[in-house]
Amino acid sequence: MATLETQTTLPPSSTTRLEPPPQPVHKSGWKSVLYTAIVIVLLLLGWLLYKHNAAKKQQAAQAQAARASNRPIPVQTTPVQQRTVPIYLTGLGTVTAYNTVTVKSRVDGQLMSVNVREGDEVRQGQLLAIIDPRPFQAQLDKDVGALAKDKAQLVNAQAEAARYKALFDQGVFSKEQADAQIANAGNFTGTVATDEAAIEADKVQLVYTRITSPISGRVGLRQVDPGNIVHAADANGMLVITQLKPIAVLFTLPEEQLPRVLALMRQPGGLSVDALDSSNTKRIATGKLLTVDNQIDVTTGTAKLKAVFPNDDESLFPNQFVNIQLVLENRPNALVAPAAALQHGTNGDFMFVVQPDNTVKIQPVHVDLTEGANLIIGSGLKNGDQVVVDGAERLKDGAKVEAHATQPNRRGNGGLNQLAPAPTGNQNSTGNPAGATPAPGTTPPNPHQHGGHGKPAGTRQ
């Protein structure tokens, strides 16, 4: 017989905790965490790689800079020369003919011929033109005849006066009658003198029909052709003759320079004057200072001077513009350096001088005079020093250089302009502003400690 088991369900006790049912785990959450970790690792690796590459580049740049610092810098150099240098004043001049003559007729008549061609060189007294002489020759012949007639009447009057005087002494004629005959003879004497003067005037007029050159020079363009009637009152002449040998040049100088110029003019030999072309590099001719005008132009404060040139080669021509150099003195044993080598620093002027070991040294200099291409150095350099004229912008004191020599600059006649100030303009030879800080590592010289540059002697204030 089967036993029946009965399960009895007890009611839940109030102290029993009910557990929540377990939640399912999602696989997508684990993937997000994994991706985030991978991104962080990649970013870290990229940052480390970037730092490594930056460090390598910095090391390469430092190595390149070190190699560049040890590499010689190519520069152009020119030696300082010691020679005799002319000191001069400059001005702009105009060439003028030493003498200019406008040939005009002094009588009225027909121009028969012109015996010279345009552009011919003529000598003083040479026949230039002929005016029809026949009217003047006829007038001369007429006056010669009148003179002969009046001379015959004079002889007769003098004879009559002598007879009347003899008869007056015998008491035949009165004194009044004798005086009248003497006066009549004197009247004919005056007439004869007048006729002789008329003949002289006719001869002069006849001479004027042959026009001769009053000076030696060159004939210009003809103004009147043969066959025309010319008059003494004509405004325009027939020819213009200019004297080219010698020739003159007029130029001006500031009034401040006159006392020294006048003092030097009184010395034996006078002052030499050079005429240069428009580029101020080629000497055209050399002459002498002739005179200074007797007054100063108050509007410009300048005085006009006149120089004379032989002009044997006719290199100067009237109305030509030239650059004038009035040589005041020749300075012997002057140290000449190119202006391109001059550098301007906060402490004064200096130059880079190449040393025997191919390094450069900052050398303070004192400039006495300047022409713009050449400088006279008062102190700081010696003959033969190699100064840098190109490539100085990368130099510093003690830098290694690779020097390439160039020829010294001899502009014009190699002289120095006493009117031009030392180069203190807005730029130095390297193109940097004057007074700007030099290249890194350079220490501009102190002119007060090394006899540095002051105001150039003789420059215009």
3-state secondary structure 206-266: HHHCEEECCCCEEECCCCCCCCCEECCCCCCCCEEEEEEEEEEEEEEEEHHHHHHHHHHHC
Residue 93's contacts (CB-CB under 8 Å, 6 or more residues apart) are 249, 250, 251, 275, 307, 321, 322, 323, 324
Rounded to 5 degrees, φ, ψ at 254 are -60, 145
Confidence band for 24, pLDDT divided at 50, 70 and 90: low
Higher-confidence residue of 70 and 76: namely 76
Indicate if 174 and 285 belong to the same structural domain.
no
Residue 26 has what pLDDT?
A: 53
Domain end: 290, 312, 331, which one? 331
Do 374 and 312 fall within a single domain?
Answer: no
Q: Could you tell me if 313 and 347 lie in one domain? A: no
Identify which of 394, 336, 391, 332 has the alpha carbon closest to the alpha carbon of residue 365.
336
285 shares its domain with 301: yes
| Residue 28 banded pLDDT, cuts 50, 70, 90 | low
Per mean pLDDT, which of 163-172, 207-216, 267-276 is the most reliable? 207-216
Residue 350 has pLDDT above 50, yes or no: yes
DSSP-assigned letters across all residues of 44-94: HHHHHHHHHHHHHHHHHHHHHHHHHHHSPEEEEEEE-EEEEEEEEEEEEEE
| CA distances to 16, 26, 169 from 19, in Å | 10, 21, 203
Tens of pLDDT, residue by residue over 411-438, are 444 455 554 433 433 333 333 333 333 3
Residue 458 DSSP one-character state? T
Residue 145 CA from chain centroid, whole number:
68
Do 371 and 412 fall into the same domain? yes
**pLDDT per residue over 281-300, tens digit each?**
899 999 999 999 999 999 99
Per residue in 96-131, pLDDT (tens digit) is: 999 999 999 999 999 999 999 999 999 999 999 999
Q: Quote the number of domains for the chain.
A: 4
Instruction: Verify that 349 and 423 share a domain, yes or no.
Output: yes
**Mean pLDDT within 215-237:** 93
CB 387 within 8 A of CB 353: yes
Interatomic CA distance for residues 436 and 438, integer angstroms: 6
User: Does one domain contain both 127 and 141?
Assistant: no
Which pLDDT score, from 0 to 100, does residue 370 have? 77
Domain-embedded: residue 48 = no
Residue 387 confidence (pLDDT) above 90: yes
How far, CA to CA in Å, does 360 sit from each of 74, 385, 400, 453? 12, 11, 7, 20
Looking at residue 452, its pLDDT comes to 37
Do residues 354 and 429 both lie within one domain?
yes
Q: What is the pTM of this model?
A: 0.59
* Statement to judge: residues 265 and 317 lie in one domain: yes
- 379 lies in which domain range? 73-84+332-450
Where b means 16+ CB within 10 Å and e means fewer, 205-221 reads: bbebbebbbebbbbbbe
The answer on 307 and 257 residing in a single domain is yes
Residue 187: which CATH number?
1.10.287
Query: Average pLDDT, whole number, for the chain?
Result: 81
Query: Residue holding tokens 């959450």?
Result: 29
Going by C-alpha positions, the residue among 98, 100, 123 that lies closest to residue 246 is: 98
> In this structure, is residue 197 part of a structural domain?
yes
Closest of 105, 308, 58 to residue 205, by C-alpha: 105
Pairing verdict, β 239-254 and 348-354: unpaired
Per-residue model confidence (pLDDT) at position 21: 57
Residue 170: is its pLDDT beyond 60? Answer: yes
pLDDT in the model for residue 134: 95
Q: Which residues contact 222 (CB under 8 A, 6 or more apart)?
A: 114, 118, 238, 239
Task: Considering only the C-alpha atoms of the chain, give the largest distance between any 2 of them, rounded to a whole number of Å.
Answer: 246
pLDDT in the model for residue 53: 86
pLDDT of residue 422: 39
